[in-house]
Amino acid sequence: MREPASSRTPSLPLNRHLRRRFGASVLVATSAWTGPLVSAGWAQGAADSSLVAIEGATLWDGTGNEPIPSASVVIDGDRVLCAGTVRLCPVPPGARVIDAVGRWLLPGLIDTHVHLLFRDQRGGGRGMEADLRDLLARGVTAVRDMGTDPRTLLDLTRSIPSPRIYPMQLVAGPRFFYGREAVHNSDGSVTAYRLPPAQVMRLLGWTPILYQRGDRPDSVVAQAKAAGAIGLKLYADLTAGQVRELVQAAHQAGLPVWGHAWVQPASVMEQAQAGQDGVVHVAGLAGELYPPSARDTLRGATALFEATAAVATRESAHDPRVLAALDTLARRGTFLEPTLDATVHRVAHYEATHPRHATESEAYVKAASEFGVEVTREAVRRRVRITAGTDYVAYGPSDERASLVGELALLVDSIGLTPAAALRAATADAAVAIGGDAALTLGIVARGRRADLVLLRANPLADIRALREVEWVMLGGQLLRPDQLRREASP
């Protein structure tokens, strides 16, 4: 019999425990804006009470328990005090009550892969505030930024409505920083020359860290922590030995390490064997189809596109080398973050624009889409841990960006996850994937967890797209209405 959620989670208060275990820097890095409480039509209770009771909703708490109809969730300040049946969680005297009858109550959603500073202008300003408000309006109460500029990002978002932000520090090898590469059409002609990725990122205000032979991995970790990062994101041009060095140094400091699937030349298999916590972009498992000697020559961004397009197919997704890598992920508990929706959007973009000569980027993304779906299916069959990250970027029309609902819909429709399993990938499992403070305080609705909640008008277990029907969002006990969030973000 599953033990009650309240017995598996820390009790209030947690601040002293978290500071002792993770240090003050982690708590500062993951702080979120808390603004004035938005009126929700309180049924009863003193206006200044710190106690709030949400009554009557069907509660899906993210713990793996069955949904609780006509549930009661009691909140004290920014934490959940009790969650369960009305008998177990009666309304405390003086509590303010929210009538949620006929609705579904969930933990706040978590997107484990965004790039909030990936925009045309360096600063945040009104555009960033609108992006963040829109994420909140969609029920996303926490995000992991996978490599921009941790310090600047945290400074920009400290005083505006925002999901909780967990920034990672991007780390890469020399070829990511130096030299330029030709961009070829399918007929072999050169379209342009690409600047080194690190140079482009710096123009956008990002701060990637160079790691090369002879560097001290602990100095990279110290630099990342000083910037406010909660972990390392390994990007490219790193060997298996370098991955191992960085993982060991980061883990000694209490930081997780994630990386691109295939950090060129280090493969997914090698990253998992080095102890890395997770890999992103499932199409990168195409690297398993090349021997180590060949991977060592495929360190540039252009080489990645060409090499993937050459071997990534529906059939090669079931190659024994790919399956062996997935089995290693499953055995070691390494997370896989597929980012399927971003690839679907890129394919749709290319099909809509109909370029005269298909670039290597277009060939790559079409191959990656088909290959990625098949590999993710195999990963699920092999019980690899899945987390829902979108590769959301903060520019362009919102309907042209990857979204968390889109990612979860693909996990259900194309991969075969149940809606409940897909939801866990964006709640409980996502919190564990981020680690640290998030793993202890987010992802489920239980005593001691942060009061980050989403109220839906329809049942997401019947149709995952019910996540689009957000009635309100609660962030740290503060109630926010989607229409107000978006209206106040308008110029």
46 pLDDT more than 60: no
Q: Which of 453, 345, 489 is nearest to 109 (CA)?
A: 453
State the pLDDT confidence band at 191, using cuts at 50, 70 and 90.
low
List pLDDT tens digits, range 337-372.
Answer: 999 999 988 888 777 776 555 666 788 888 899 999
> So what's the pLDDT on residue 168?
98
- Looking at every residue in the chain, the average pLDDT score rounds to 86
DSSP state of 169: E
> So what's the pLDDT on residue 301?
72
State the pLDDT confidence band at 9, using cuts at 50, 70 and 90.
very low
How far is residue 302's CA from residue 368's CA, in Å, rounded to a whole number?
14
332 pLDDT more than 50: yes
Percentage of the chain surpassing pLDDT 90? 67
4 pLDDT more than 80: no
> So what's the pLDDT on residue 178?
85
Q: Going by DSSP bridges, is the β-strand pair 51-55/96-99 parallel, antiparallel, or unpaired?
A: parallel
Dihedral angle, C-alpha 427, 430, 436, 442, nearest 10 °: -10
> So what's the pLDDT on residue 31?
45
How far is residue 248's CA from residue 257's CA, in Å, rounded to a whole number?
9
Q: Which of 70, 8, 75, 18 is nearest to 45 (CA)?
A: 75
Percentage of the chain surpassing pLDDT 70? 82
Average pLDDT over residues 376-386: 98
Contact 132, 163 (CB under 8 A): yes
> So what's the pLDDT on residue 451?
98
End-to-end CA distance of the chain: 53
> So what's the pLDDT on residue 401?
85
How far is residue 433's CA from residue 257's CA, in Å, rounded to a whole number?
10
121 pLDDT more than 50: no
Average pLDDT over residues 240-265: 96
> So what's the pLDDT on residue 123?
47
Range name among 20-29, 35-44, 224-233, 367-376 with the lowest pLDDT average:
20-29
Tokens encoding 234: 């390994």
Task: Walk me through the domains of the chain, giving residue ranges and CATH numbers.
Answer: 5-107+443-489 (2.30.40.10), 109-440 (3.20.20.140)
Range name among 186-195, 267-276, 372-381 with the lowest pLDDT average:
186-195
List pLDDT tens digits, range 53-83.
Answer: 999 999 999 999 999 999 999 999 999 999 9
State the pLDDT confidence band at 28, using cuts at 50, 70 and 90.
very low
How far is residue 201's CA from residue 119's CA, in Å, rounded to a whole number?
10
> So what's the pLDDT on residue 127?
75
More confident residue, 86 or 31: 86
Tokens encoding 135: 């994420």
Q: Does the N-terminal peptide bond of residue 196 adopt cis geometry, omega within 30 degrees of 0?
A: no
State the pLDDT confidence band at 204, using cuts at 50, 70 and 90.
confident
> So what's the pLDDT on residue 181?
64
Element (DSSP H or E) covering residue 257: strand 257-260
Dihedral angle, C-alpha 74, 439, 283, 332, nearest 10 °: -130
> So what's the pLDDT on residue 490?
61
How far is residue 14's CA from residue 92's CA, in Å, rounded to a whole number?
22
State the pLDDT confidence band at 240, using cuts at 50, 70 and 90.
very high
State the pLDDT confidence band at 3, using cuts at 50, 70 and 90.
very low
pTM tops 0.95? no
> So what's the pLDDT on residue 108?
98
Tokens encoding 469: 């029907």
